[in-house]
Structure 1
Amino acid sequence: MAPTKQQLDHVRQLVSSLNLHGPIANCEVRPFSPALTSSLIAIDISTELPGGKQMVRNFVAKVKMENEDQSEWVDADTQFYNECKVYSEVIPFFLKMIPSQGVSRIFPECLYSSYTKVDPVVIIENLESKGFKMGDYGAMDYEHCALTLRTLAQFHSFSIAIKRKEPTLFKEKIAQLKDPRYADNTLIFRTIQMLTRVCVRGCINSFEMFYPEYSATYAVELQKLLKLLNESVGELFQSLVKAEEPFSVLCHGDFNRNNILFRYDDDAKPCEVKFIDFQIIRYASPAIDISLLLFLNTTSEFRAENEDKLLRIYHQTLLENTATFLGCTTAELLSEMSLDKFKTDYARHALHGFLISAMFSRFVFGSEEECDRFVETIDNGRCTEDDLETLLPIGGEFVQRRICDMLKDILIRGYFK
């Protein structure tokens, strides 16, 4: 949703009041790319330097959408609150506790972050101006996945190290965050439950057409999943994100390709990655992030060949970074955090990534017109399951097969029993 003139003027005035290490020669603001849960504003700032030179810096401001109905159903207040907390409290806390662990390399620079119910604003550097860009949906190769999971493990290691060293301080920080999706009696949670039932039910109904052999082999599991969808899908989501020690960490929460930006070297190889958009952040199993990344952004064939290798890369990086901060060896962490124990934790929670991917694959892989229809159907959170049933043809056989591939992988790997 495009920002209003009032919002553009507000951001321009706000930037003009900030200390930017030099007088502002010029400040241009304009609408940026559209977003589902907020309005984005591009900011180009020219500051005066000694000797008459100027430095141009590029930022993006995120402001609250003006549409109150849409803002209510996506619970934009909670999402803005969380993101402001990440930039004003969590990242500075990480920087204070882990000054030498490269915290700043993972996140964009934050120029300003302030939450109020009326005018919440987050201003971060425009990473596009530094050569960062998104990867392709459904086409992340091994190099992109390995780099992403190494960096994700570094991010997650901050939580594991700090909660071991300063458990009280860490608990106080995570207690400030709010549940952005699964809070009872919210429109967004109601919509998520309905959309999950419709999309996964549609997948199960067509599963036999694509995989008749697995449909028979896993008939009991499929019936159990249907029962959960129909009777207690809300409780299922809440159980999957319930924190369990020792692996629970601050998760990004929406760890998908549109929130992961890559920079490439001269050989067009990904060499650096940064994470953005922390509205859905939560304290939970790292599987919440990893499983969404792999299910929504890779193919079944890729996962069959590479999932175990990638989980090993993540686990090893997690141990190494945690050990470096704590001043111990990785061997000293293995009694609680062995690879087998990590894989067990992952298996208990990976279903979450499948459920979210099943919901949003049609939006991700549909045509522009189909995506518009998807958004219009769920737009105010007051849709019915009958309304959502009309979305099942979006993306055609390609999307339906892709979701069935995810379900097959969940069953084969024992992520749902």
Structure 2
Amino acid sequence: MSQRALSESKMNRGAASPMTTSSYNEILDNKSEDTYRVESSIATLTTAQKRDMREKFLKYANKVLRFYAQWDDRSSMFGQKLEYIINYFLQDDKIEVLEVKQQNSGRDPFPKLVKKQRVPRVFRGVPSVGSKEEDFEDEYISDKDLIVGNTIEIFGRDMFLYDCDSFTREYYLHQYGVEQPANQVEPETHVEFPSMPLPPYNGFGSEHDSLASYFNLIPKPRKYDRTKQAALDSIIFRWKAKFDIEKMSMVNPDDHKRRFVISYFMGDGSLSIYEPPIQNSGFVGGKFLERQRVIRHKAKFGDWMTEQDLLIELPGTVWINNYPFSLLETDKFTLRYIHKGKLDNIVSIDLIHQKMRNKVQGMSREIMNVFRLIDEEQSGAVSLDDLVNVIRKFNFELDEDEIIALMGRWDQQKNGFIFYEDFVRTIFE
């Protein structure tokens, strides 16, 4: 509009002057160029062409090579030899390094040394902005670098690969025809630290009291397992025993006459020995060993005798406080415990027959007449109650288990009756 008005008035416009610039406009122009340059670089880094990992992902999904490694840092001050697990993920060639926690090592548990990522063979710092992963493809650790016996560098730490798992061995054998070497680490020799030997028993109190005075200036009382003691306090095993004369170093001429009752208390693992008095033997009898826990023969303090040391095949020898005892027989309660209630293992039917035969020798006719008097119907059979009455009449001294075993042997039809004629002829004739 201004140009048209000037043309109509025929006025001279003059030459156009150059546009003036200010320092502020120059700063805005330079800032725009820098922003475009940085945005271009970031776009290049984030939108770089990725490798096609689809085929590898489908083939090796969830398949991991596992290596066991050591980092020996003992050359530096306070350094240690630490154990690590190196996991190599085949689907994306990434590596994860886990620290193996060791008990009482003084180190805080730190689960991951390196999180899952691609690890360069030689770490040269953080890559520059705009660089592409494809430019450094040959500089990353691959599965070909992981061989047992080799040392790899992981961010400045030299990791010695000393073993791998079975899947890893099979993978290298089928993929590359390479057999991974065996374990490359020899077990370290155990260092024996010097320790003070335990003092001998001083004679005051029990051996527990003597040991407590060694560990504490003010001895602490012995701790008991109250739950076990309450549950097993009523369980007592007993054996009849005598001295094993052949194994004794010093023998009294009358020691072969002595008999003992050994009792083992399951509640606290203690043991006592009682000697029944024998007339005109010269031995008073009574308590041979006060109830106490007993150390195994020629063992260290703390290695206590248990019921398994006494539950042996009879007759057998057991050492108690340097005395050899020959175990002769045990009571029915202990036999039930050993044989879990199986009556055939507790009593012997032949021994019962012999016991009855010795009791009434030559009285088979009298016994037969008693059975016939009881059998009013003349059926030739009597019941269990009738058998018990006959046993009591002739004072056979059979206990409940022996009577049940006897009835089970002669009750051939399993109806609660026995044929007494066969019974008398077999046992007493």
Of Structure 1 and Structure 2, which has the larger fraction of its residues in helix?
1
Of Structure 1 and Structure 2, which has the larger fraction of its residues in strand?
2
Q: TM-score, normalised by structure 2?
A: 0.18
Bigger radius of gyration among the two:
2
